[in-house]
Structure 1
Amino acid sequence: MTFSTLRGALRTSTVCVFALSLTSPASAQNNEKLSLGTILLGESKREIQTDTATAVTEIDQEEINDRQPGTIAELIDSAPGVNLVNGSTPQGSGINIRGYGANSTFGSDQKVAVIVDGASVGAEELYRIGTQLFTDPFLYKSAEVIRGTVGSFEYGSGIVGGVVKLETKDASDFTGGAVGFVGTQTFEFSSNGNGITSSTNFAWQPTEQAEFLLNYTRRDQDAQSDGSGNLIGNSAFTLPSFLLKGKYTFGQNRDQSLAFSYSESSTDEKDVPYDTFLTSQGSFGNVDRRVDSRTAALTYRYNPASDLIDLDVVLSYADQEIEQSYVPGSSTCEINPASCAGFLRGRPFPAQGFGTVNADHRYETTKLTAKNTSLFATGSISHELRTGVELIRKERRDANSAPGGVDNRVAIFAVDQMRIGDAWTVTPALRYEHSKVTGSTAPNDGTFKNDALMGGISVRYAFANGFAVFGSAAHTENLPIIDDLGSAVLMTRPEKSQTFEVGASYEGSDVFQSGDSFSIKGNLYKTDLRDITSYTVSGSTSVYADRIETEGFELEASYAMESGLYFDLNTNLSRGTEFQPGDATTAWRGVAADNLQFTVGKKFGDELDLSWEVVADKRFDDGVNVVPGFGVHNLRATYKPQHGVLEGTEIRVGVENVFDKQYTRRLSTRPASGRSLKVSLAATF
C-alpha cells in the first residue's frame, strides 16, 4: 500500500464522519447534547479521545480488569499502532509502536518511552533480553499510549514511536476518599500454563488528608502451549511484585500535597535460554538470570487559588538490575564447536560462555522534573501553558558486552494549548535538551556533549456539530546514549526525525437513535528518520542504514446504545522503507502486519457485561518475509452483583483464542498461546 493509498483511506474516513455529522438531527438541532458528560448514554469499553489532535489512547481501570492481561505489553496492545514482540511473558516481550521500539534483536531502541508515576524506566539496547519492563498490570489503575512525536515533548527527546504512561493505584481509589480501611483480594486462574495470580490491596485513610496503600501481587505461570499443543519455549515465569504508596494533603484550602510511591518486581530463573526471543538456535546457551526492577517517585503538588500556578515537582528513581551467569554445557557452540566455526573464528569456546551471555547489567535513572501549568488569556486567545525543567542522570554499569558510564542531561520544555474562539486549538511545543555522556572504563572512557532544540505544532478545528479536523508536524532528535560509547562517530551524531500527521474525528449523541453515542477518529502519519545510529543493515554490524521512512493509518471507533449494546473497533495499516548506502532499499523490519480489532458486547446495567472480540492480522508479505494472516476470537464476561451476599465481589470469565488457532504474529519470534480459560474472582472487605 502506498502513501497515496493511505491518504485515500483517510479521505474515506473523513467523508464518513462528516456525513454522520450532517445526518445527525439531534447534533444539528441541539449542540448542547454534544456534552456527553451531562447525558446518560450507552457506554462502550473505551472512550475515543476526539477532543485532541494528538494520537492518544487511554485505558482505565475497568478495561484493565476486563482484559485480564498477564503483562504490561498485553495491557496496551489493543491500542492502534501498538504491536508486540511476543508479549505473554515479561522476560521476552517488547513493545513496538508505529514500527519503532522493540525488535527481535534488542528490547528497546530508545524511540518508545515508558513512564511510571513520572519515572523514566527501561534499559538501553540489551542484546536479545526484551524490554526490562518487569512489572505487573495489577499495580496500575490506568495506562495511556501517546503515538508519534507531537505529544511527547514533556516526556523526553528522540521519541519517534510514542510514550507509554502508567499510573499506579491510590488508596483513595478504594476508600473513595472516606476515612477508614478497605481491603481487596483478587485471584486469577488461566488454564494455558496453569497460571495463578494473587493480588492483595490494603487501603487505609486515617484522616481525610492522609492515605496509604499496600499491594502485593504474585504471578506464576508454567510453560504455555500454542494452538497445535506444542510447548512454547521460555514461556514459564514467576513474578512477585509489590507497591507501597502514600499521600498527605495539607496547606490552606488543602492546596498542597506530598505523595510517595515505590514498586518492585523481580524474576529469578534457573537454566533458561539467554536469548529470550529464541532466535539464535541455542548458540548462546542457557543462563541463571535474576532481574530486579525498582521504581520510586516523590511528588509535591501546589495548586493554590490562582490560574497561574499549578505546580508539580517529581523526584524519581528507576533501577533495573540483571544478573546472569552461563550454565556450562548448554551452548550448541560448546557441544559442537564445528557448528559455530564462523562465529568462533578459530578460537576455542570460552570457559565461562560468551561475554554477552555472562554479563551483568544495571541501569539507574534519577530524574527531577518541575512542571507548572498556567491558565491565562491574551485578547481572544485562552492559553493552557505547561512549562517545565528536567534534570536527568542515568548510570550504566560496565558489562562484558557493553560499555558503562554516566549520561547527565538538562532539559526545558514548553507546551502552549491555545484556544481561539470555539473552533480553533493551536498547540505549539518546544523542548531543548543538553547531554553529557562520560564512559567509565577505557577504551570507552571519553566525554561527549550534545544538545538539540526540538519542537512541533498541532492544529485542530472543531465544527459545531461534533466533527473536527486536525494536523501536526514535529521534529525530534535522539541524542547519543551510553551504549554508543564504543564509537566516537556515533557519540557525535544525534538521530533526527520528522513526523507529519493529518486526521479527522466525530463525536455525537442521538446519532442513529435516541440515547446512543458515537465516536470515531482517523489519523494518517508519515515519519522520516535520518542520521541513523540505531540500526545497521541486514548482515552487517558496522554499516548503518541511511534513512527510514514509515507511514500508516490508524482508526478508532466506538458506538453504544441506550439498551447496553456496544461496538468498539480499531485498525492499523502501516508501511516502511529502509534506505541503505548505495541507493538500495528494503522493507523496514519494524513494520507490523495490517491488523483489526473488533468488539461487540452488551451491558446489563452495572451488573453484567458480555463481549465477543475478534483480533485479525492480514497476511504479511514484504517480498522477503511472509507471515500468514489469522483471525482469533476472545470471549469475556464480567459479573458484579449489586445486591445480596455477593455484593462487592467481581467475577470475570474469559476465553482467549476460543478456537485454539495456531499462529505467530508478525514481529514475534515465538508462536502465540493457544486457547486459555481465564477466571478472576475479586472481593472487597
Structure 2
Amino acid sequence: MASAATLLTTAATAQEITLDPVLLAKSKREVQTDTATSETIVTEEEVEDRQAGTIAELVDSVPGVTLVNGSSPQGSGINIRGFGANGTYGNDQKVLIQVDGANVGSEELYRIGTQLYTDPALYKEVKVIRGMAGTFEYGSGAIGGMVQLETKDASDFTGGETGFKLRQTLQFGSNGGQFASSSILAWQPTEDLELLGNYTYRSQEAQKDGNGDNVSDDGYELPSWAVKARYRFGQDRAHALTLSMAETTSEEKDVPYNSFAASTDSFGNVDRSVFSETRTLRYTYDAPGNDLIHVSVEHSRAEQQIDSSYVSGSSIYEASPFIWPSLQPLVNADQHYVTAKTTVKNQSLFSTGVLRHDLRFGYEHIQKDRLDASSAPGGKDLRDAFFAVDDIQWGGLTLTPAIRYEKQAIRSDYGDYANEALMGGLSARYAFQNGMSVFGSAAYSENLPILDDLTNADYMERSEKAHTFELGAAYDRTGLFAEGDSAAVKLTHYRTELWDVTSYSGVTNIALQGYELEGSYSTETGFYTDVNSTWSFGRDTTNGADNDWQYTLANQLSVTLGKRWNEELDLSWEVVANAEREYADTVTEASVVHNLRATYRPQAGVLDGFEVRLGLENAGDLDYTPYLATRSAPGRNLKLTLTKTF
C-alpha cells in the first residue's frame, strides 16, 4: 500500500500537481450529533471507497449492525441490535429495508438470506436507523431498526447543467476472482429534465478464508440495471416527477439450497433463479411562498421471485420415506411476492408562539401479495396507516412526538384475519451552546402478523410488541485543540424489550440493552480518525427458562486512521476488533482485522476525472468466523477499482 501511495504521488508530481493542505477538516463519516435518533449515514464517497460487493458490506461498519455472512448476496443478511437476519431466516420482520421508498427483503424465507439481490453501484446514500425512534413515518414493527437506500440521480454527475456525462467503473478483487463493471450515462437535455441509466455486471467465484479453504462452494453472477428520470415544472419549478426502476437477476446451478451453509448439507442442492425489481413513482410539490405545503405522493412496487429446482441425488435423505416428504416441498419451492405501497405525505413548517414546528403527516396503503409455495402459504396482506411526526423546537430544546396507527386485513385460503395497532414515541434533545447535547427517547411498536404464519391461527390474531428507551449525549465542536480541527462524538444507551414473541419457537420474551459509540476527529492538515463501537447484552425466556439471547451482537470496536491531501489523495487504515462471544458452550473467538484503503483523484491535467481506489481487506489473512455468521470470513483480498468520468 505504501508503494502504491508512492506511485500515485509520483504520478501526480509528473503532472506538476501540488497536493495542498486540506482547507476544511473532514473525517470519513459525519457523526449525526444534531438528532436524538440513533442514525448513521453512509455517503456516496464512503460507498465508493469501501468497494463493497454487496449491500450488506456497505453497513457492516455501523455500530449496532452485524452481518450474517455478507461477502455474497446469497445467504447474507443484516442484523441490527440483535434483530433481523439470523442463521435460519434472512429477516425476522423486525428490520425494515427500503430502496427509494419501496419495501424490500422482508420475507421470512427458510434458509434464504435477506434477498437483497441488488448492487451497491446503484446507490449514492445509505441511512441506517437503529431502534424504533425515527421509523414511524416509514413503517411499523422496525424494532431493530431500518435501512434506507437512495439511488443515484443524473444531476449527481452533470452538476445540474445541461449535457452528457458518462461514468465507467471497473473493479477487480484477488480473492475469488471478483470482477465488476458499472456504466452510468447521465443526460440533462434541459435544466428541468434529467435522465440516468446504469448497467452493472458483477461476478465472483468461490472465495478462500484465511486458512485457504473455500468460504462456500459457489460463486455468483449478478447483472443489474437501473433507470431514473426527474422532471421539474410549474412556477418556480415547484412541481417534480421522479421515476426510478431497478432490476437484478441471478442464476445459480447446482448450489446448496441452504444458502447459509458453506457447502452442501442434508437439504441437498438446487438450481435457483432469482428475479428482483423495484419501481417508484414520486410526485412532489413545494408551494412557492407557503411553508405549510410540501406535498409528496409516492407509489412503489417491489417484486421478487425465487424459483428453486432440486438437483436429484444431492440430499442424503432422498431415499428416506420419513424425512424426504417434508424436505421435498422445501427444495422445490417457487417463492413469488409483490409489495405495492402508496404514501401521501405533507410537511408543514410553522410557528406557534415561541415554538417552531416541522410537522410531517400522511396516509399509507400497503398491499403485499404472496403466492402459495409448496413450502409456505400465500395470501394477501392489506394495510392502511396514518402517521404524524412533529419536530418542535424551542431554543436549544427539540421535542419529537410521533404516532402511527396501522390497520391490517389478511385474505387467504387459510382464513381471513383483521388486526390493528397504535404505535408511537417521544424523542427529546437539548443542545447547549458549548457543543454539548443530551437526548433521550421512548418508543412503542408492534409487529403485525405475517403471511408466513397463516397455518398458525394463534399467531395470526396477535402481534409482537416491543418498547425501547434510549439515553445519550453528544459533543460537536470545531477548533477544539487547534484552529480548523473538528471533533464529534455520540454515545447512546438503549434498552429494548419484546414480548408476545411469535418469530422464534418457544421464546416468549426478549430483553436487550447496549451502548453505541460514534466519534470522529480531523485536523486542518488532513489527518482524521473515526471510531465506532458496540457493547450489547441480551436475555430471553424460552419454554419458561431464562437464557442468554442467541442473537445478541458481539462487542466490537472499529478505529480508522487516515490522511487526506485535499480532494486528491486519501490513505486510511481501519482496525476492526471483535470480542470473544460464547453461546451454548460454543465459543466464537476474538478477532482483530486490518483493512487498508487508498483513493487517488487527480483534480487537473490529463487525468482529471480519473479515480483509482486500492483496498486490502483482511490484510493479515486472518482465519476467523464472526459471531452470527454461518461461514468463515474471506481471507486477504486485494481490490482495485478504476473509474473515469467523461
Normalising by structure 2, report the TM-score. Answer: 0.95
| Mapped pair 1:621 → 2:582 | yes
Tell me the residue number matched to 1:437.
410
| Mapped pair 1:313 → 2:300 | no
* Equivalent residue for 1:490, pick from 443, 459, 465: 459
Shift of 1:545: 1.1
Shift of 1:123: 3.7
Tell me the residue number matched to 2:329.
355
Q: How does 1:632-671 map to 2 (within 5 A)?
A: 632-671=593-632
| Mapped pair 1:676 → 2:637 | yes
Shift of 1:625: 2.9
Asked if structure 2 preserves the Cα contact closer than 8 Å seen for 1:592 and 1:666, the reply is yes
Asked if structure 2 preserves the Cα contact closer than 8 Å seen for 1:662 and 1:671, the reply is yes
| SS of residue matched to 2:56 | helix
Shift of 1:592: 1.6
4+ residue segments displaced more than 6 Å: none
Asked if structure 2 preserves the Cα contact closer than 8 Å seen for 1:88 and 1:235, the reply is no
Shift of 1:514: 1.1
Asked if structure 2 preserves the Cα contact closer than 8 Å seen for 1:123 and 1:320, the reply is no
* Equivalent residue for 2:398, pick from 422, 425, 438: 425
Q: Deviations over 1:505-527 (max 9, x none)?
A: 00000101111000000000000
Out of 668-677 and 352-361, give the one that drifted further. Answer: 352-361
CA RMSD of aligned residues (A): 1.3
Asked if structure 1 preserves the Cα contact closer than 8 Å seen for 2:217 and 2:262, the reply is no
Tell me the residue number matched to 1:399.
373
| Mapped pair 1:547 → 2:516 | no
Q: How does 1:141-160 map to 2 (within 5 A)?
A: 141-160=124-143
Following the alignment from structure 1 to structure 2, what is the Cα–Cα distance between the partners of residues 621 and 192? 30
Q: Deviations over 1:241-262 (max 9, x none)?
A: 0111101100111000001000
* Equivalent residue for 2:387, pick from 394, 402, 413: 413
* Equivalent residue for 2:479, pick from 470, 490, 510: 510
| Mapped pair 1:606 → 2:580 | no
Shift of 1:349: 3.6
Tell me the residue number matched to 1:561.
523
Identity, % of aligned pairs?
54
Following the alignment from structure 1 to structure 2, what is the Cα–Cα distance between the partners of residues 580 and 209? 58
* Equivalent residue for 2:285, pick from 295, 302, 306: 302
Shift of 1:347: 2.8
Shift of 1:465: 0.3
Shift of 1:281: 6.1
Q: Deviations over 1:254-292 (max 9, x none)?
A: 000001000001110000000001179611100000011
* Equivalent residue for 1:330, pick from 314, 320, 324: 314
| Mapped pair 1:364 → 2:348 | no
* Equivalent residue for 1:248, pick from 231, 254, 262: 231
Tell me the residue number matched to 1:390.
364
Residue 271 of structure 2 aligns with an amino acid whose one-letter code is D
Shift of 1:532: 0.6
| SS of residue matched to 2:452 | helix
Asked if structure 2 preserves the Cα contact closer than 8 Å seen for 1:69 and 1:75, the reply is yes
Tell me the residue number matched to 2:169.
186
Q: Deviations over 1:569-597 (max 9, x none)?
A: 00000111111233x11111111210011
When residues 548 and 280 of structure 1 are mapped into structure 2, their CA distance, relative to the original with a 3 A threshold, is farther
Following the alignment from structure 2 to structure 1, what is the Cα–Cα distance between the partners of residues 456 and 147? 30
Out of 622-631 and 366-375, give the one that drifted further. Answer: 622-631
Out of 154-163 and 231-240, give the one that drifted further. Answer: 231-240
What residue ranges of structure 1 are gaps of 5+ in the alignment? 1-38, 338-343, 537-543
Residue 347 of structure 1 aligns with an amino acid whose one-letter code is F
Following the alignment from structure 1 to structure 2, what is the Cα–Cα distance between the partners of residues 623 and 102? 19
Residue 642 of structure 1 aligns with an amino acid whose one-letter code is Q
Shift of 1:388: 1.1
Residue 329 of structure 1 aligns with an amino acid whose one-letter code is G
Asked if structure 1 preserves the Cα contact closer than 8 Å seen for 2:550 and 2:583, the reply is no
Following the alignment from structure 1 to structure 2, what is the Cα–Cα distance between the partners of residues 636 and 235? 27
Asked if structure 2 preserves the Cα contact closer than 8 Å seen for 1:296 and 1:317, the reply is yes
Tell me the residue number matched to 2:3.
none
| Mapped pair 1:570 → 2:532 | yes
When residues 40 and 605 of structure 1 are mapped into structure 2, their CA distance, relative to the original with a 3 A threshold, is closer
Residue 362 of structure 1 aligns with an amino acid whose one-letter code is H
Q: Deviations over 1:80-105 (max 9, x none)?
A: 00000000010110000000000000
Shift of 1:546: 1.5
Following the alignment from structure 1 to structure 2, what is the Cα–Cα distance between the partners of residues 94 and 242? 22
Asked if structure 1 preserves the Cα contact closer than 8 Å seen for 2:255 and 2:264, the reply is no
Shift of 1:622: 3.8
Out of 85-94 and 228-237, give the one that drifted further. Answer: 228-237
Following the alignment from structure 1 to structure 2, what is the Cα–Cα distance between the partners of residues 385 and 643? 45
Tell me the residue number matched to 1:523.
492
